């Protein structure tokens, strides 16, 4: 009786906070309601999550969690199921709780088939102590915010130990990442693997492959037949025989256009063409993960393919705007690997480009910005003739300009502005496209400013977060 009373009070207070935040024009809130509700009723998350009648799918890893989770949500909805989803990337336990609170009635009833939850790597153990996932999708492991997460092997160890405590949970794993693939054997779980086969964009060398250089079993240096990017590729250990597992879902014949990426897909359900309507090899990986999760849930392949072809990106995930017929792209960057892929997408754009880079160093971004020196900004020097201007902004905009200077970018193209002036600068530049890259807490104010000038090609609801 006491728990029931706390539950109802927590829901009432949380919904009041959502209403107040909306009234004040701060979006709908994605963490604060959950934070308060957990204080009032610590067991509320487990109580609400158990009501997902067909189960819970969790997505974790370093990059691609939000996009992969939202792709899975679209697939499951297209299959006719009701879902609870933390769509905008509030992935700490507070944000996960808020997702359920939004769906809950005042009496605490949640009427859904599946809960589809993006979960922060460091928060994964805490969330799984309250929420039992039927399937866990793991995208990749890269160095990210060392001041918050610590060394990468610690993060992997935390996830591995949490998985061991989840009997019956199935895994969907990236076969191309030598840090992800071993989790099946090390946890004793059944795994469904996805990955990319050899295609014309593979490389024989990857300077960014720091994390995956050595065998996770015996420590010998891995041999790669080819790389897709960073440590993702076709690897094997000459010592103990550890190697890339055979992918259950595999993409080949990769082709990229301005606004999409496609591949030929082989799976137990046959052969299909997969079209992802956002560019970048990393987005193709997200699509492969979502396709694999959909198959694991028993969704028909045709439904999955159709759902992914109509996917709309969340805020800042290669989101498209239009300003006076000028294409504008907004992209989140948060670690060296993701930034390098963002630069790759930049250099694949046709014509000339005006670039904005917004760097903050709040808690959610990581206080230590030394990771910027691990990003390959040197590629911009080689292609600077296609870059009309590079405008640096945010709390650490000046430091970003210094990084570009040392990368060899011509100084007459580098400008430091406040955020409003920076947006005006790139929108009114002479480039064919404006391309904006921002760290997490810089993304939201940048998106609000941009929305005042440019029109979204596809409207996405924005949910600011304090997590």
Catalytic residues: 368
3-state class (DSSP) for residue 341: helix
Which whole-number Å values give the CA distances from 353 to 73, 349, 431, 439, in the listed order? 33, 8, 5, 20
Q: Are 89 and 73 in contact (CB under 8 A)?
A: no
Contact residues for 48 (Cβ-Cβ < 8 A; gap 6+):
97, 100, 101, 103, 104, 108, 110
Measured CA to CA, the distance from residue 90 to residue 120 in angstroms comes to 9
Contact residues for 315 (Cβ-Cβ < 8 A; gap 6+):
88, 330, 443, 444, 447, 460, 462
Measured CA to CA, the distance from residue 334 to residue 78 in angstroms comes to 31
Measured CA to CA, the distance from residue 229 to residue 342 in angstroms comes to 12
Contact residues for 438 (Cβ-Cβ < 8 A; gap 6+):
316, 330, 331, 332, 333, 356, 357, 358, 359, 394, 446
H-helix or E-strand spanning residue 19: helix 2-23
Measured CA to CA, the distance from residue 275 to residue 287 in angstroms comes to 9
């Amino acid at each position: 009786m006491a728990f029931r009373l706390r539950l109802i009070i927590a829901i009432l207070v949380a919904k009041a906070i959502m209403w107040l935040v909306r009234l004040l024009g701060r979006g709908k809130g994605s963490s604060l309601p959950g934070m308060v509700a957990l204080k009032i009723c610590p067991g509320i998350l487990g109580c609400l999550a158990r009501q997902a009648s067909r189960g819970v799918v969790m997505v974790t890893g370093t990059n691609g969690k939000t996009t992969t989770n939202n792709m899975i949500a679209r697939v499951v909805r297209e299959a006719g199921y009701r879902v609870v989803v933390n769509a905008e990337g509030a992935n700490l336990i507070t944000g996960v709780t808020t997702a359920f609170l939004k769906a809950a009635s005042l009496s605490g009833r949640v009427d859904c088939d599946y809960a589809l939850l993006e979960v922060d790597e460091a928060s994964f153990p805490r969330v799984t102590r309250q929420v039992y996932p039927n399937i866990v999708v793991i995208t990749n492991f890269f160095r990210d915010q060392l001041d918050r997460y610590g060394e990468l092997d610690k993060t992997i160890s935390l996830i591995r130990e949490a998985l061991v405590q989840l009997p019956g949970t199935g895994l969907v794993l990236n076969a191309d990442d030598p840090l992800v693939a071993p989790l099946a054997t090390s946890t004793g779980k059944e795994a469904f693997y996805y990955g990319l086969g050899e295609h014309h964009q593979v490389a024989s060398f990857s300077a960014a492959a720091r994390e995956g250089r050595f065998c996770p079993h015996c420590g010998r240096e891995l041999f790669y037949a080819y790389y897709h990017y960073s440590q993702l590729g076709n690897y094997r250990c000459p010592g103990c025989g550890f190697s890339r597992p055979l992918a259950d879902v595999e993409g080949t014949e990769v082709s990229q256009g301005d606004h999409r990426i496609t591949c030929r897909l082989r799976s137990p359900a046959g052969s299909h063409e997969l079209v992802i309507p956002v560019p970048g090899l990393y987005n193709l990986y997200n699509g492969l993960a979502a396709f694999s999760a959909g198959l694991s849930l028993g969704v028909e392949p045709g439904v999955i393919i159709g759902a992914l072809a109509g996917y709309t990106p969340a805020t800042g995930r290669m989101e498209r705007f239009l300003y006076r017929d000028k294409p504008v792209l907004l992209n989140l960057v948060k670690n060296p690997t993701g930034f390098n892929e963002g630069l790759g997408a930049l250099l694949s754009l046709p014509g000339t480009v005006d670039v904005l880079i917004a760097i903050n160093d709040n808690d959610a971004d990581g206080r230590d910005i030394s990771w910027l020196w691990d990003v390959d900004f040197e590629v911009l020097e080689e292609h600077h003739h296609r870059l009309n201007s590079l405008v640096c902004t945010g709390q650490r905009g000046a430091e970003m300009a210094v990084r570009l200077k040392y990368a060899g970018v011509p100084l007459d193209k580098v400008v430091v502005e406040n955020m409003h002036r920076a947006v005006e600068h790139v929108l009114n530049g002479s480039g064919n496209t404006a391309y904006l890259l921002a760290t997490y807490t810089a993304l939201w104010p940048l998106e609000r400013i941009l929305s005042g000038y440019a029109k979204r090609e596809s409207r996405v609801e924005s949910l600011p977060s304090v997590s």
